[in-house]
Structure 1
Amino acid sequence: MKNLIPLLLVIILSSLYSAQAQYSKKFDYQNNFQLELGGHGLIYSINYERILINSELLKTTGQIGIAYYPPFIGFRDVWIPIGINEILSINNHHIEAGVGMVIIREASRDSGNTAIDWFWDGFLSARIGYRYQKPDGRFLFRAGFTPIIETNIFSKLPRELSGKFLSEVHPLAAVSIGYNF
Structure 2
Amino acid sequence: MNRLASLLPGLGLLLALAAAAPAAAQPPARHALYLEAGGRGPYYSLNYERRLRPGARLQWALSVGAAVLPDEVALPLGLTALTHPQGAHHAALGLSVTPAVQHYRTLGAREDYSDKLLYLAPGLGYRYQRPLGGLLLAVGATPLWRLDPPSYDPWDFSVRFYPSGHLAVGWGF
- Fold in common (TM above 0.5): yes
Structure 1 contact 142–177 (Cα < 8 Å) conserved: yes
TM-score between both structures, scaled by the size of structure 2: 0.72
- Give the percent of matched residue pairs that are identical in Structure 1 and Structure 2: 29
**Separation of aligned partners in 2, 1:127 and 1:97:** 6
- Within a 5 Å distance, the mapping from 1:9-158 to structure 2 comes to 28-71=28-71, 77-89=72-84, 91-107=87-103, 116-117=111-112, 118-152=114-148, 156-157=152-153
TM-score between both structures, scaled by the size of structure 1: 0.69
Using a 3 Å threshold, how does the CA distance of structure 1 residues 86 and 156 change in structure 2: closer, same or farther?
farther
**Separation of aligned partners in 2, 1:154 and 1:135:** 45
Q: Secondary structure at the match of 1:28?
A: coil
Query: After TM superposition, what 4+ stretches of structure 1 lie above 6 angstroms from structure 2?
Result: none
What are the ranges of 5 or more consecutive residues in structure 2 without an aligned counterpart?
Answer: 1-26
Letter in 2 for 1:101: V
Q: Give, in angstroms, the shift of residue 116 of structure 1.
A: 3.6
Using a 3 Å threshold, how does the CA distance of structure 1 residues 133 and 154 change in structure 2: closer, same or farther?
farther
Using a 3 Å threshold, how does the CA distance of structure 1 residues 48 and 115 change in structure 2: closer, same or farther?
farther
Higher Rg: 2
What are the ranges of 5 or more consecutive residues in structure 1 without an aligned counterpart?
Answer: 1-26, 72-76
Across the aligned residues of Structure 1 and Structure 2, the Cα RMSD in angstroms comes to 2.8
Structure 1 contact 107–115 (Cα < 8 Å) conserved: no
